[in-house]
Structure 1
Amino acid sequence: MEELKSAVGDHMDLMADLIEKLSAELRSGLRPAYDNFIGFFYAIDWTEPWLISVLAFHAVLLIVVIISRKNINFQMCLFLLALAGVYLAETLNSVLRDNWKSFAGQNYFDTHGLFLSVLWSGPLLVIAMIILVNILFSLCYLIVRWKRAELRHRARLLHNKQD
């Protein structure tokens, strides 16, 4: 019984410590996150051609997704390509980390892949979510059309039986 009381007491102390740390984080607000973002933003040389090309690629891909929103098959291909780009980001990060001197002014490619996650995988995931939402809306519209056609067909059958 004494072991149980000790274990419960230790657990309560641990929970109190976690709640205290969480409340301290909440009291500090969003200022540390904002400072980290600003530091990240200013550490990047946004005039490098390869970086401008990556941003332009994402902009063009987004425009293609918006323009082709009615073509579900093409959207599915874009969806799979975007997810493949995210899947291959780790490999891409290691290749770019080994060859950064040939195209960049500084090494942005750390072992954890934070830079590539933010500027490559992040936009691809956002574009994939846009495609997914578009496909879900299209499927809902298709289900409504199908149900209406089914109801019209049943009404015709009932009308023909009454005649």
Structure 2
Amino acid sequence: MDPINTTQITGIWTYLETVDWSDPWFSGLLAFHVVMFGITALTRNNQTLQAVHFIILLMLVYSAESLNELAARYWSVFSKQQYFDSKGLFISLVWSTPLLVNTLIIVMSWILTSSQLMVSAGRLKIEADKRRQAAAQKKEDAKMRKRKAE
């Protein structure tokens, strides 16, 4: 089967329908993305590990152009069809998009964590203010009792 001409593409779904998903290398690619999503999920409570994972994901997205050129040169070694066009549409869809979704999940996780920390800090401040007010009130009450006793 000849590769689809990029001028014939009317939408992402029509383009993806032309892909022969039975190629064995797609299983490896899928496994890779599942592992990346798994690492994203497993590191959600460890900000340092997640930051390292985030940087690695961004580096992998950055390498997409070089990876596309390499895959375009050697596609016949691992694939039945030449998917790797010069504009990078295919590599963007099957490589970069899932990785960027991972980074988006991480950023959303960081925003959620930050907002939870701000709410906790606000509550702690309110509690500290209440304790300070209660202590000041006790002190004032003690002064009043002392004055009445005199």
- Determine whether 1:45 maps to 2:23: no
Unpaired stretches in structure 1, ≥5 consecutive residues: 1-31
% of aligned pairs identical? 33
In the alignment of these two chains, the number of paired residues is 129
Deviation track 1:51-79 (CA, whole Å, cap 9, x = no partner) reads 21111111222133223322222222222
1: CA distance between counterparts of 2:46 and 2:86? 39
- Determine whether 1:108 maps to 2:83: yes
2: CA distance between counterparts of 1:149 and 1:51? 51
Quote the offset at 1:152 in angstroms.
1.6
Aligned residue number for residue 56 of structure 1: 31
- Determine whether 1:148 maps to 2:127: no
Q: In angstroms, what is the RMSD of aligned CA positions?
A: 1.8
Aligned residue number for residue 58 of structure 2: 83
Deviation track 1:88-147 (CA, whole Å, cap 9, x = no partner) reads 111111111122222222221111111100000111111111111111011100111111
TM-score between both structures, scaled by the size of structure 1: 0.70
1:69 is aligned, of 25, 44, 49, to: 44
Unpaired stretches in structure 2, ≥5 consecutive residues: 1-9, 140-150
2: CA distance between counterparts of 1:94 and 1:41? 20
Larger Rg: 2
Aligned residue number for residue 130 of structure 1: 105
